[in-house]
Structures are given as structure tokens and as C-alpha cells.
Amino acid sequence: MVTRTDAPTRREQILKEAARLFAERGFHGVGVDEIGAAVGISGPGLYRHFPGKDAMLAELLVGISGRLLTGAKLRLAESGAAADPSAVLDSLIEGHIDFALDDRPLITLHDRELDRLRDSDRKLVRQLQRQYVELWVEVVRELYPALTEPAARSSVHSVFGLLNSTPHLARPGALPGRSVTAELLHRMARGAFAAAGAE
């Protein structure tokens, strides 16, 4: 885990504000002037950093899908080959929760604005998402062999729905404390999987 200490670049500021605005009002509901205003420049100035509005969304979605997948692969790798599937699942859940709690706008965009992408970008994002799901499915099936493959896939999608529900939980600060929320979500995810995997 590397921690950034230098100031964010203008490009990063733009992406962050664009993510927030897209999540709040939808891709088509936000104008380039608004995005510009959010970072203190105005409208067309954005085109010095991005070729177009679509490109911002594309970079956001490809970025989050990639980071989710990379993070999961890392967690899988550092558990070693003969790892306890239960511990691996815990690690995957923990990683996903961190993402959902720390990057709420991105999590929202991720399953909401995918269809606004150019064909090639959409295919890329979908491919990354599919790999991420597949990785979970394998771990879940190892832990709950009774699950058929389609059932395991459905259960994984459903748990994503559960974990990604945080954006709807309340105004940003009104949760009962981050670690408490994280732990509750974690227990519920495990409980949901256990119920799915029961004969």
C-alpha cells in the first residue's frame, strides 16, 4: 500500500469532481461547465486535459474496474495457493467494502453509467468486471461446493448489491462509524453466502 503525499494534479481533481457530479445527477445530467466550475476553471478549459466528456467517464469506469480486479488478484496471490478459502473470501469482502466506503461515487457510477460508454471502452470494463466476478465465484464454490455455478454467480452479484448499498445508507457522515458499518456489512455478506451455500 503506497500512500500519496504530493498534491493531486489538476487532472485528478477533475476526475474526482466529475465522479461526484456524475453520481449525483447522472452523466447526461451534468454539463461540462459544471465540472469545470467544481475545480475552479470554466467549461472548455477541461479540454486541455481530456478529449471530451465521454473520456472522463471512460477513465473513471476503467479505473475502478481495474483497481477492483487488481486488488482482488493481489489478495488472492498473497494468501498463497493452498489458502483457506474462508480466509480468502473474508479478504475479498474486506477489500470490496473498503472500496464501497471510500469511493462511494465510483461504486455508484460503476453499475449505473456503463451504457454511456463507447463500445470499445464498455467491452473493456465489462471484461474487467467479469474477471472480478469470476474470481469471487471460484472462491465461493470452493467454500460451498453444494452451489451450482449459476447459483454461485447469482449469489456473488447479490452480495455485490448488498455491499454496494452503502451509498444509499445516508448522508456522508451519518453512519454509525466506519468500522462498525464495515463489520456489519462483512457479517451480512458472510451470512448471505452461508445461506446460499446451505443444502
Partner DNA sequence: CCCTCAGGTTAACGACCGCTAACCTCCCTG
Partner DNA sequence: CAGGGAGGTTAGCGGTCGTTAACCTGAGGG
Residue 27 in the binding site for its own copies (CB under 8 A):
yes
Phi, psi of 187, deg, nearest 5: -60, -40
- Burial class (CB within 10 angstroms; exposed 0-12, middle 13-18, buried 19+) of 28: exposed
Residue 171 is a binding residue for its own copies (CB under 8 A): no
Which residues, 106 to 135, sit near its own copies by CB under 8 A? Answer: 111-113, 115-116
Q: What is the CA radius of gyration of the chain?
A: 18
Interacting residues with DNA (CB under 7 A) = 10, 28, 30-33, 36, 41-45, 47-49, 51-54
**Residue 104, C-beta contacts closer than 8 angstroms, at least 6 positions apart:** 23, 166, 167, 172
Nearest approach, Cβ of 174 to its own copies (angstroms)?
9
Q: How far is the CB of 119 from its own copies (least distance, A)?
A: 15
Question: In whole angstroms, how close is the CB of 20 to DNA at the nearest point?
Answer: 15
The half-sphere exposure of 185 on its side-chain side, counting CA atoms within 13 A, is 29
Where on the chain is the footprint of its own copies (CB under 8 A)? 24-29, 111-113, 115-116, 148, 150-151, 154-155, 157-165, 168-169, 175-176, 180-181, 184-185, 187-196, 198
